[in-house]
Amino acid sequence: MKNPSAAAGDSVDRDRLWRRLMEMAAIGARADGGVNRQALSAEDARARQLMVAWAEELGLEPNTDEIGNLYLRRAGSDRHADPVLTGSHLDSQPSGGKFDGAYGVIAGVEALEAIARAGVETRRPIEVVAWTNEEGSRFQPGAMGSAVFAGDMDLPSLLPITDRAGISVETALRETVAATPGITTRQAGFPLAGYLEAHIEQGPRLEAEGLTIGVVTAIQGSRWYTIEVGGEEAHAGTTPLAKRKDALKAAVAMVGALQEAMADPTDTVRFTVGRFEVGPGSPNTVPGHVLFTIDFRHPEMATIERLTGQIEPICQANAQGCAVTVALNSDTPPVAFGRDVIDTVRRHADNLALGHMDMPSGAGHDAMHIAKLCPTGMIFVPCERGISHNPAENATPEDLAAGARVLAAALVDLANR
């Protein structure tokens, strides 16, 4: 037999992969071509049911854990060996794309089918995982499933968190897991021999360089905050400006001052106010309450500490008589992947004669939590104009299949060590 990794890579089928991606994209499909499949929603539940159906089709064993991560397990010849894990997430942004997350999960399913069709046995089991709530758009923080698995967050502190409709993680999790009854449950955090995640780049570099594979070396650090500004509702016609505690006026001054403080001539700092809510939202009432979020990212911990240390003082300095609370929702330090998996990904990209480059990830991924547990890496493929977290997110069947080929070959390699 030819080299098992090469056999597995050659057995990846572009059209089968594309068909499964489009089947998944139909769940939570938006009229504009994107998807809205938010964490622990009815759409997320249907996505998991589809995964379980694929497991039955492929003879994989589905199982889950206490935070609802969903695993599809392919047995190895040594059933006591720690498994190699691959996967990503099925939940999307509310106005998301077809490929963010879903590609990594479905490329994992394709890799397992390709390995089986190539008649390749591996010593270790290989499992495909769909991590719970990677996006963090409905329930903050994000990456809950992989963070609980890695011990970075504890489930009891997450269960009471509610979405904007007041539904708790606990309630939504119970309803979602109920959609795939009868599958076995394991305690999260079981030992892993390795983790490899395929993902679209969500940036423009691979496309600009005309390359197919990103050999991911690191993930930048990120901090998320929620700022609440408490002023005083008042009559818009009778209340002099000098007497107001206008929460909107104060919040706008805070955001302006923060954007000035975060200005970076090298354009490396990522500072985003993605949510800005004004209450009570009546044209003739002075706003009494504003809630806004901050997503801050940078590759260096020292810069993260230095710049985010200014957030609270700047908010307080622009309070204009309002009350201000600054809450840190999530804090994920920069992560560097080990040489082991990086070199493995690069070698299989070379073996498949695919153009590749080493590159860090600007986006966060579940791999940032798993990297402390075992040899971890990621494979990027290009997406059109680098667009993501947008219904227009797109990628070609050829590039997606190429990434799945590298994934299948590398998984066989890792699972036979």
366 binds ligand HGY (CB under 6 A): no
375 binds ligand HGY (CB under 6 A): no
Q: Are 348 and 406 in contact (CB under 8 A)?
A: yes
For Mn ion, the closer CB: 314 or 395? 395
* Closest distance of CB 364 from ligand HGY, Å: 4
Q: Using alpha carbons, list the distances in angstroms from residue 63 to 110, 205, 234, 282.
A: 18, 37, 55, 49
* Closest distance of CB 294 from ligand HGY, Å: 13
For ligand HGY, the closer CB: 126 or 262? 262
For ligand HGY, the closer CB: 151 or 274? 274
* Closest distance of CB 277 from ligand HGY, Å: 20
Q: Which does 142 bind (CB under 5 to 8 A by kind): ligand HGY, Mn ion, none?
A: ligand HGY
What does the per-residue mask of binding to Mn ion show for 257-286, with x meaning CB under 5 A?
------------------------------
Could you say which of 364, 375, 377, 403 contacts ligand HGY (CB under 6 A)?
364
9 binds Mn ion (CB under 5 A): no
For Mn ion, the closer CB: 122 or 133? 133
- Choose the binding region for Mn ion from 6-14, 94-102, 223-231, 282-290 (rule: CB under 5 A): 94-102
201 binds ligand HGY (CB under 6 A): no
For Mn ion, the closer CB: 43 or 100? 100
For Mn ion, the closer CB: 229 or 381? 381
SS (H, E, C) the chain: CCCHHHHHHHCCCHHHHHHHHHHHHCCCECCCCCECCCCCCHHHHHHHHHHHHHHHHHCCEEEECCCCCEEEEECCCCCCCCCEEEEEECCCCCCECCCCCHHHHHHHHHHHHHHHHCCCCCCCCEEEEEECCCCCCCCCCCCHHHHHHHCCCCHHHHCCCECCCCCEHHHHHHHHHCCCCCCEECCCCCCCCEEEEEEECCCCHHHHHCCCEEEEEEECEEEEEEEEEECCCEECCCCCHHHCCCHHHHHHHHHHHHHHHCCCCCCCCEEECCCEEEECCCCCEECCEEEEEEEEEECCHHHHHHHHCCHHHHHHHCCCCCEEEEEEEEEECCEECCHHHHHHHHHHHHHCCCCEEEEEECCCCCHHHHCCCCCEEEEEECCHHHCCCCCCCCCCHHHHHHHHHHHHHHHHHHHCC
Q: Are 108 and 167 in contact (CB under 8 A)?
A: no
Q: Which of residues 88-147 bind ligand HGY (CB under 6 A)?
A: 134-135, 142
Using CB under 6 A as the binding criterion, the count of chain residues that bind ligand HGY stands at: 5
142 binds Mn ion (CB under 5 A): no
Per-residue tokens: 68 = 């609802």
Q: Which does 65 bind (CB under 5 to 8 A by kind): ligand HGY, Mn ion, none?
A: none
34 binds Mn ion (CB under 5 A): no
Q: Which does 203 bind (CB under 5 to 8 A by kind): Mn ion, ligand HGY, none?
A: none
* Closest distance of CB 94 from ligand HGY, Å: 12
- Choose the binding region for Mn ion from 95-103, 117-125, 310-318, 319-327 (rule: CB under 5 A): 95-103
Distance CA 96, CA 392 (A): 8
* Closest distance of CB 263 from Mn ion, Å: 25
Say how many CA atoms lie within 13 Å of 388 toward its Cβ: 21
363 binds ligand HGY (CB under 6 A): yes
110 binds Mn ion (CB under 5 A): no
200 binds ligand HGY (CB under 6 A): no
* Closest distance of CB 239 from Mn ion, Å: 43
Give me the residues that bind Mn ion (CB under 5 A), please.
100-101
Give me the residues that bind ligand HGY (CB under 6 A), please.
134-135, 142, 363-364
